[in-house]
């Protein structure tokens, strides 16, 4: 098979690495890819939003499967655009991708299918007074969320009423999130630990992969601003076999069934961001794609053939035996540019990338190559990942941090406590 992966981050490097091991693979392309994917695939300089060029490339190179990594092209309809031309795509239609791009759509889907989630009300920007009336009756803290995509920044947790009023003013009057915040949700605050689970689905059947835990905040002990994710580990001991079954039955099955019933089956990776509360698992959010950096720890744990799995989902006959998890653990520490998620400098040479250890994977995310040197080129630069055959998370964490010591660039920053929370459960 000839396969094209759309995207250029750490997630796409992880997808490329797993797919590159498949016996079914002939040629692998990354559009546009990064210096990490260049070692295992052919990078093609086509942007993720250039639908016409992507289509033309697929036709000219007889692509058998397109795997779309990031949410934006999914939301903008790249899957639909390619499917009309009879190209197999792993990734949902723009309609099904609304599960991520509209929180109001996701909530209504959950309500229709009785999926456990925080209670909420939604408001439009012209409903300022009714939103204040509602807030007056709320128990605090409350969570205020922009309906649309806001680069992970559209969720504000408000401890007090005046803070909440100020936030809805910023959403609806100051329009800090533009169109994305013109509709917003006021949501019950849920306490608990968070976990991410991916379900690979052909629109009807699904397979849930081992649960991971992300570390969204920039600072240690989950402090400071939200980021795309500063590290992850899998499997998380937070999710027992019983909880996993509960998530499958109460969350994935009803949502996948509901979307099919509405005539828009979800084909791809459905990502459930969960809060494990005292009352059981509840949905914080859905994403319409693989998570980043969760993919970097989940995929290397799978035995079998990831390409076979994705192709079978894309072509409507999910192969339930294509992959399995039978043990092992993985820890990924994201190495970032100091200043991220706000302003940061780039263009610094990265040294120490030549680590030769079968238990370590160095995923590239925000890097670029210039005159034979690898330079920093983004906020999240690398994902230093250990993968062990044993379930010793402590050892996996130590291995990842040992490897990081060998890597250097100006303004390097990373969290020192990735996977620490898990050790409490062991």
Based on the shown chain and the rule CB under 6 A, indicate whether residue 284 belongs to the binding site for ligand AMP. yes
Residue 294's binding partner, choosing from ligand AMP, ligand GLY, none, with beta-carbon cut-off 5 to 8 A by kind? ligand GLY
Selected binder of ligand GLY within 10, 69, 148, 291 (CB under 6 A): 291
Binding mask 244-283 for ligand GLY (x = CB under 6 A): ----------------------------------------
Alpha carbon distance 160, 57 (integer Å): 53
Selected binder of ligand GLY within 202, 294, 305, 319 (CB under 6 A): 294
DSSP calls for 3-46:
EEEEE-SHHHHHHHHHHHT-TT-SEEEEEE--TTGGGTSEE---
Q: What is the CA radius of gyration of the chain?
A: 21
Based on the shown chain and the rule CB under 6 A, indicate whether residue 285 belongs to the binding site for ligand AMP. yes
What are 362's strand-pairing partners? 384
Based on the shown chain and the rule CB under 6 A, indicate whether residue 148 belongs to the binding site for ligand GLY. no
Alpha carbon distance 365, 378 (integer Å): 8
Residue 337's binding partner, choosing from ligand AMP, ligand GLY, none, with beta-carbon cut-off 5 to 8 A by kind? none
Q: Which two tokens stand for residue 254?
A: 């009803």
- 241-280 residues near ligand AMP, rule: CB under 6 A: 273
Selected binder of ligand AMP within 12, 100, 147, 187 (CB under 6 A): 187
Task: Give the binding range for ligand GLY (CB under 6 A) out of 164-172, 179-187, 290-298, 371-379.
Answer: 290-298
Alpha-carbon distances, residue 172 vs 136, 166, 177 (angstroms): 18, 10, 9
For 65-75, b/e burial (b = at least 16 CB within 10 A) is bbbbbbbbbbb
* Closer by beta carbon to ligand AMP, 186 or else 307: 186
- 116-155 residues near ligand AMP, rule: CB under 6 A: 118, 143, 152, 155
Selected binder of ligand GLY within 9, 91, 148, 229 (CB under 6 A): 229
Please work out the total of residues on this chain that contact ligand GLY, with binding judged by CB under 6 A: 6
Residue 189's binding partner, choosing from ligand AMP, ligand GLY, none, with beta-carbon cut-off 5 to 8 A by kind? ligand AMP
382 close to 367: Cβ distance less than 8 angstroms: yes
Task: Give the binding range for ligand GLY (CB under 6 A) out of 128-136, 244-252, 288-296, 345-353.
Answer: 288-296
* Closer by beta carbon to ligand GLY, 55 or else 75: 75
Q: Which two tokens stand for residue 20?
A: 């590159």
* Closer by beta carbon to ligand GLY, 210 or else 291: 291
The contacts of residue 172 (CB under 8 Å, 6+ apart) are 123, 124, 125, 126, 128, 131, 181, 182, 184
What are 145's strand-pairing partners? 155, 185
What is the closest distance, in whole angstroms, from the C-beta atom of residue 318 to ligand AMP in the complex?
27
Phi, psi of 55 (to 5 degrees): -60, -45
- 3-class secondary-structure state, position 190: coil
What is the closest distance, in whole angstroms, from the C-beta atom of residue 152 to ligand AMP in the complex?
6
Any alpha helices (H) in 271-406, and if so which ranges?
A: 294-298, 306-314, 393-404
Contact residues: ligand AMP, CB under 6 A: 118, 143, 152, 155, 187-190, 194, 216, 273, 284-285
Which residues of the shown chain bind ligand GLY in the complex (CB under 6 A)? 214, 229, 287, 291-292, 294
């Amino acid at each position: 098979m000839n396969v094209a992966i759309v995207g250029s981050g750490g997630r796409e490097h992880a997808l490329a690495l797993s797919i590159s091991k498949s016996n079914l693979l002939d040629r692998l392309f990354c559009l546009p890819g990064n210096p990490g994917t260049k070692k295992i695939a052919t990078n093609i300089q086509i942007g993720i939003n250039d639908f016409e060029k992507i289509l033309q490339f697929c036709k000219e190179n007889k692509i058998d499967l397109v795997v779309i990594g990031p949410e934006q092209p999914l939301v903008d309809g790249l899957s639909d655009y390619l499917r009309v031309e009879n190209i197999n795509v792993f990734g949902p239609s723009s309609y099904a991708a609304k599960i991520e791009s509209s929180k109001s759509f996701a909530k209504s889907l959950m309500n229709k299918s009785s999926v456990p989630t925080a209670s909420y009300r939604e408001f439009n920007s012209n409903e300022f007074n009714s939103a204040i009336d509602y807030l007056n009756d709320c128990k605090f803290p409350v969570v205020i969320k922009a309906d649309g995509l806001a680069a992970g920044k559209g969720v504000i947790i408000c401890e007090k009423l005046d803070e909440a009023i100020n936030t809805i003013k910023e959403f609806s009057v100051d329009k800090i999130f533009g169109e994305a915040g013109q509709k917003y949700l006021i949501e019950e605050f849920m306490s608990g630990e968070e976990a991410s689970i991916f379900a690979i689905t052909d629109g009807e059947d699904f397979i849930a992969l081992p649960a991971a835990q992300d570390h969204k905040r920039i600072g240690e002990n989950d402090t400071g601003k939200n980021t795309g994710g500063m590290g992850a580990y899998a499997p998380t001991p937070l999710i027992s076999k019983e909880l996993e079954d509960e998530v499958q039955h109460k969350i994935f099955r009803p949502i996948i069934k509901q979307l099919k019933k509405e005539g828009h089956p979800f084909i791809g990776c459905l990502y459930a961001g969960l809060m494990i509360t005292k009352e059981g698992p509840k949905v914080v959010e859905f994403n319409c794609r693989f998570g980043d950096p969760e993919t970097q720890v989940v995929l290397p744990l799978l035995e079998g053939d990831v390409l076979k799995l994705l192709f079978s989902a894309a072509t409507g006959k999910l192969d339930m035996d294509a992959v399995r998890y039978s043990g092992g653990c993985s820890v990924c520490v994201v190495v970032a540019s100091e200043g991220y998620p706000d302003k940061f400098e780039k263009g610094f040479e990265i040294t120490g990338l030549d680590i030769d250890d079968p238990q370590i994977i160095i995923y590239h995310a925000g890097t670029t190559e210039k005159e034979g040197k690898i330079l920093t080129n983004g906020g999240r630069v690398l994902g230093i990942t250990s993968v062990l055959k044993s379930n010793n998370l402590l050892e996996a964490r130590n291995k990842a941090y040992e490897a990081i010591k060998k890597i250097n660039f100006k303004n390097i920053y990373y969290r020192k406590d990735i996977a620490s929370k898990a050790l409490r459960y062991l």
